[in-house]
Structure 1
């Protein structure tokens, strides 16, 4: 494990694991850490040496000198490129791959956009960023939605009530409800949700450009979706998928919670 010291941002903490030799920069989902992908030991970790980054407000990553207003304005895109610049300083300029789950896919996609000539492979699981997700769009970019998000964050009962209603209408499944509920049961946790989603609100990949770059540079692309995922389903990503020439697309019999031993078994047993 180690830290990247990124000017204008702070300390980005990363975990190292995997028995493979090929470097992979990985970005986890909400409420986890950069260790999230360690369960994929039979499949991905056999081929790659993973550098799994903690998002800010997760794990040991820490912003330096950021005011609340700066956080709510959002992190500029150019600071994502700085992750790799600083990683190169420690590990040398070299080819690498990227992986992202859920909200972490946004960062992985932006790195494809910024470093297409150096990327060998991109693996995305239940990815955010391939289509506009109306819920996040309202909470992050509509004035009334941003106000509502702030009010819910400050309230002890509104957030749990909202989650229960989302579960009731099958917008989220039982596993996602349990995970989400455990992330909002204290004021600090609710603030971490609020600050995390605001910090990444400007990290919007240009998916049309990314598809063109993946095709142009013949980047191996694997996309994995949960058949029962109502958060980031495959159907929302179909325009992106249709623009790729040789993507490997999988829809597994799971929900949004994909990074598990079950997925590891699925991947390791794929026909060669």
Structure 2
């Protein structure tokens, strides 16, 4: 493991694992750390050496000198490029791949957009960033939504009540409910949710440009969706899927919680 000292941002902590030799920069989902992908040991980790980054407000990554107002304004997307530039300083400028799950897909996609001539492969699982997600758009970009998000963060009972209602209408499943509830049961955890989503609010990949670059540079692209995922379903990503040539698209019999040994078994047993 190690740290990237990113000027104007802070220390981005990363975990290293995998038995393969191909470098892959990986970005996890909310509430996890850069170790999240270690369960894919029979499939992806056989070919790749993972550099899995902790998001800020997760694991050991720490912002340096950021005020609350800066966090709420959001991290400029050019700082995502700084991840790669600092990584190059440590490991040499070289070809690499990217992987992202859920909100982590935004960072993976931006790196693919910025370094198409160096990217070998893009792997996205239950990805945010391929379509506008109305719920996040309201919370992050609409004045009334941002106000509501702040109020819910400060309240001890509003967030749990909202989660229960989302589960009741099958917007989220039991596994996602359990994970989410465990991330909002204290004021500090609710603040971490609030700060995390605000920090990444400006990290919007240009999906039309990325699809074109994937095609032009013949970048291998694998997209994995949960059949029962109501958060980032396959149907929302169909325009992107239709514009990428030769993308490998999988819809597995799972919900949003994809990065598991079950997915590892699915991937390792795919026909060659």
Map of 2:165 onto structure 1: 165
Map of 2:77 onto structure 1: 77
Map of 2:115 onto structure 1: 115
Alpha-carbon distance in structure 2 between the residues aligned to 1:245 and 1:213: 11
Map of 1:3 onto structure 2: 3
1:219 CA displacement: 0.1
Alpha-carbon distance in structure 1 between the residues aligned to 2:77 and 2:235: 27
1:107 CA displacement: 0.2
Unaligned stretches of 5+ residues in structure 1: none
TM-score with structure 2 length normalisation? 1.00
Alpha-carbon distance in structure 1 between the residues aligned to 2:237 and 2:179: 24
- Secondary structure, aligned partner of 2:160: helix
Map of 2:96 onto structure 1: 96
- Secondary structure, aligned partner of 2:163: helix
1:74 CA displacement: 0.0
Alpha-carbon distance in structure 1 between the residues aligned to 2:223 and 2:89: 30
- Secondary structure, aligned partner of 2:117: helix
1:183 aligns with 2:221: no
Alpha-carbon distance in structure 1 between the residues aligned to 2:26 and 2:227: 23
- Secondary structure, aligned partner of 2:179: helix
1:31 CA displacement: 0.1
1:192 CA displacement: 0.0
1:52 aligns with 2:52: yes
Paired residues for 1:203-222 under 5 Å: 203-222=203-222
Alpha-carbon distance in structure 2 between the residues aligned to 1:187 and 1:71: 17
Alpha-carbon distance in structure 2 between the residues aligned to 1:110 and 1:97: 12
Map of 2:263 onto structure 1: 263
Alpha-carbon distance in structure 2 between the residues aligned to 1:240 and 1:201: 20
The Cα offsets for residues 234-259 of structure 1, whole Å up to 9 and x where unpaired, read as 00000000001110000000000000
Map of 2:32 onto structure 1: 32
The Cα offsets for residues 105-125 of structure 1, whole Å up to 9 and x where unpaired, read as 000000000000000000000
Unaligned stretches of 5+ residues in structure 2: none
1:270 CA displacement: 0.2
Alpha-carbon distance in structure 1 between the residues aligned to 2:112 and 2:8: 22
Map of 2:230 onto structure 1: 230
- Secondary structure, aligned partner of 1:116: coil
Alpha-carbon distance in structure 2 between the residues aligned to 1:247 and 1:141: 31
Alpha-carbon distance in structure 2 between the residues aligned to 1:155 and 1:53: 30
- Secondary structure, aligned partner of 2:26: strand
Number of aligned residue pairs: give it.
Answer: 272
Alpha-carbon distance in structure 1 between the residues aligned to 2:216 and 2:246: 11
What is the root-mean-square deviation of aligned Cα atoms in Å? 0.2
Task: Flag as ranges the 4+ runs of structure 1 deviating above 2 A.
Answer: none
Alpha-carbon distance in structure 2 between the residues aligned to 1:14 and 1:245: 32
Alpha-carbon distance in structure 1 between the residues aligned to 2:78 and 2:26: 18
1:262 CA displacement: 0.1
1:85 CA displacement: 0.2
